[in-house]
Structure 1
Amino acid sequence: MRPVVIASCLLLLAPITDSWWASGSAVILDPRMVCKKNRRGRGRLAQICRNETGLLKEISRGVTLGATECAHQFRHRRWNCTTQRRSMRKILMRDTRETGFVNAITAAGVAFAITRACTAGSLLECSCEKGIPKSRRGRQPILPPSPVPTDRWQWGGCSDNVRFGLKKSREFMDSRYRKRSDIKTLIKLHNHNAGRLAIKNNMKVECKCHGVSGSCTLRTCWWRMPTFREVGDILRDRFEGAAKVIASNDGDNFLPESTSIKPPGKKDIIYSEESPDFCNPNIKTGSLGTQGRQCNITSAGTDSCDQLCCRRGYAQATVKETENCKCEFKWCCEVLCKTCYVKREIQTCK
């Protein structure tokens, strides 16, 4: 597991105060470092740190999962969710929509990894849900199409225990902030929950047919999480429509910045600060700039040379690459290929 990836997102697990940042970044390298500061304390976070070491491993996997998905979703944008530690730290000290996405995808990653571990039976604290999932009792599920028409089905198999994953994600990521009500904390907790809801609200039913000669006289169905790529796609869409908010007069809530904007729902990503343009390096904002980034001259999207290079122009070069070619099947059973050199034009931002 790469420490730099964990470092980037575990910033979310520590209070954002000037004194904390001045104390150094050692605490963000691993959840166990967070636990060293909380093991002797009280509350659920301290209990997890003392008694649930297996859970900490899944939390680390979840943080890495979130960081990897963030890099995938933003790979063609000016801000590409870099794992460069100093840059990410500056991003997370602010309250932009990028910060909101990182908070959401990390909380989702932790919940997803824990739930997956429950289903796999690799955590002592939990297991999959057998029979009727508690979250679906009294509610008629939407079943996938059956290969053979049938109305007979029953809950069975091993449903994902998403309730446990969501609960543990809340306990580990939110408990340190529950007693605070400043606008940054309210937004952080909201975006954590939005990330988890991207899993909870998009659970699916999977079924298996039973019967003689594929007759499918009965279907056994279970409850399954969406893939994490689907979760990332959902949260990227939430990022695109993120709502800017301000603190309310009571100090315990937030409001849309403009009265003409619809109040954000629980599943929406929110923020309170405008993002930098990320065109040029800036130590204060954490922007690394886009100089040297490869762009796409034929694209009209965020990876176009016009957009990615911030209209500074681009340099074009020819690179030589290798690929397999002239492949032949040799009986039996081998495929033999030659190595060919091909030239490719690339564009990089000035």
Structure 2
Amino acid sequence: MQVQRILVLLYFFLLFPANIIGLWWAVGSPLVMDPNSICRKSRRLAGKQREICRKEIEIVEEVANGAKIALAECQFQFRHRKWNCTTAKRSLDRVIRQDTRESAFVYGITAAGVVYSVTEACNMGHLLQCTCDNHVQDITTDGEWEWGGCGDNVEYGYKKSKEFMDARKKKRRGDLTTRIQLHNNDAGRLTVKNHMRTECKCHGLSGSCTLKTCWRKMPIFRHVGIILKQKFDGAIQVQSSNDGKRLETVIDTLKPPAKADIVYSEKSPLFCKRNRKIGSLGTKGRECVPDSMGVGGCDLLCCQRGYSTHKMTIRDNCKCRFIWCCDVRCETCMREKTIYRCL
């Protein structure tokens, strides 16, 4: 499907230098994606995407940057879970082909990442076609402060994220997958837009704050990830309505999903064992915490298969002291650490 191809393409070019392309995704590669590569090598781009490639290549670069920060945040939020948003062995490619909670989160966080990256580039002056937001907000100031400064132009970021990620995804009758993907894309964008914060600066002699000006800023992206992770935990299973025009909950007693909710239609696999078809790499070899009952605990993460214990010696800096001026000197200490891994 079109958005899936774009996401896979983004991750593909984002994380691989051209000379090792056959090794697939490598997390942590220092490569900065060349937007021309996406536009040149993807012959299946939708009309609006082709137009952006032709007229606004710098937007494609921010789309790539947005995908990068989204992937990093996905891996942080799921670092202790059975599915940890890994890109190894094409697993993410297969995960996003299903309408599960996991793919819903990937679509949502990626759309949010694109909003974030485009908006930030706009404010930094990297995009000539937009500026920061200096409009007066409709929030009352009660005379204690006034709107000023240069706010984040999240409306522009929202618009470009929607144009690129939702291109040619028409809501055909009964097309449940398309409706779910579009819904989750927008849920991610709304998570950024609906959680804007007010930032202020005081003006006056000796910090007297005679005048205070305020502007609107995006939330920290870690906060966006936390909110979307909470929505993942409370994701709503949906199906097409009888007329095929909307999403409705599988359980009749639940209210219809809100625009900012994460939705899915297929139950998630267990991700305990390796299954190439669904993108599961299993949890064998994953590091766990033996005395924890949480998601990173050995009982849960290892799917009750048990775990092995390994002891290793680690070098650490210790007995550090400050030397005037201006140096810190440390000794090297050896300590033993126990590592627990799933069988």
TM-score by length of 1: 0.85
Work out whether residues 10 and 30 of structure 1, in 8 Å CA contact, stay in contact via their aligned partners in 2: no
RMSD: 2.5
Aligned to 1:239: 232
Amino acid across the alignment from 1:300: M
Aligned to 1:154: 146
Identify the match of residue 49 of structure 2 among 45, 48, 51: 45
Aligned to 1:121: 125
Task: Quote how far apart the aligned CAs of 1:332 are.
Answer: 2.5
* 1:271 equivalenced with 2:264 (yes/no): yes
Deviates more, 1:315-324 or 1:234-243: 315-324
Equivalence map 1:50-129=2 (5 Å): 50-129=54-133
Amino acid across the alignment from 2:139: R
Q: For the residues of structure 1 that align with 2:318 and 2:38, how far apart are their CA atoms? A: 51
- What fraction of aligned residue pairs are identical, expressed as a percent? 50
SS of aligned partner of 2:164: helix
Equivalence map 1:1-350=2 (5 Å): 10-11=7-8, 32=36, 35-36=39-40, 43-132=47-136, 136=137, 138-140=138-140, 151-178=143-170, 180-181=172-173, 182-350=175-343
Residues matched between the structures, number = 320
Task: Quote how far apart the aligned CAs of 1:247 are.
Answer: 1.2
Name stretches of at least 5 consecutive residues in structure 1 with no aligned partner.
1-6, 14-24, 142-149
Task: Quote how far apart the aligned CAs of 1:325 are.
Answer: 0.8
Q: 1:334 to 1:36 in 2, by over 3 A?
A: closer
Aligned to 1:3: none
Task: Quote how far apart the aligned CAs of 1:36 are.
Answer: 4.0
1:84-141, Cα deviation, whole Å (9 max, x unpaired): 2521111011110000000000000011000000011111111111242xxx3x3337
Work out whether residues 82 and 301 of structure 2, in 8 Å CA contact, stay in contact via their aligned partners in 1: yes
SS of aligned partner of 1:175: coil
Work out whether residues 39 and 50 of structure 1, in 8 Å CA contact, stay in contact via their aligned partners in 2: no
Work out whether residues 316 and 334 of structure 2, in 8 Å CA contact, stay in contact via their aligned partners in 1: yes
Q: 1:160 to 1:39 in 2, by over 3 A?
A: farther
Q: For the residues of structure 2 that align with 1:160 and 1:48, how far apart are their CA atoms? A: 22
Task: Quote how far apart the aligned CAs of 1:284 are.
Answer: 1.3
Deviates more, 1:283-292 or 1:37-46: 37-46
Work out whether residues 112 and 165 of structure 1, in 8 Å CA contact, stay in contact via their aligned partners in 2: yes
Deviates more, 1:87-96 or 1:182-191: 87-96
Task: Quote how far apart the aligned CAs of 1:333 are.
Answer: 2.1
Q: 1:71 to 1:207 in 2, by over 3 A?
A: same
SS of aligned partner of 2:96: helix
Q: For the residues of structure 1 that align with 2:254 and 2:107, how far apart are their CA atoms? A: 23
Work out whether residues 328 and 336 of structure 1, in 8 Å CA contact, stay in contact via their aligned partners in 2: yes
Name stretches of at least 5 consecutive residues in structure 2 with no aligned partner.
11-21, 26-32
Q: 1:41 to 1:194 in 2, by over 3 A?
A: closer
SS of aligned partner of 2:278: coil
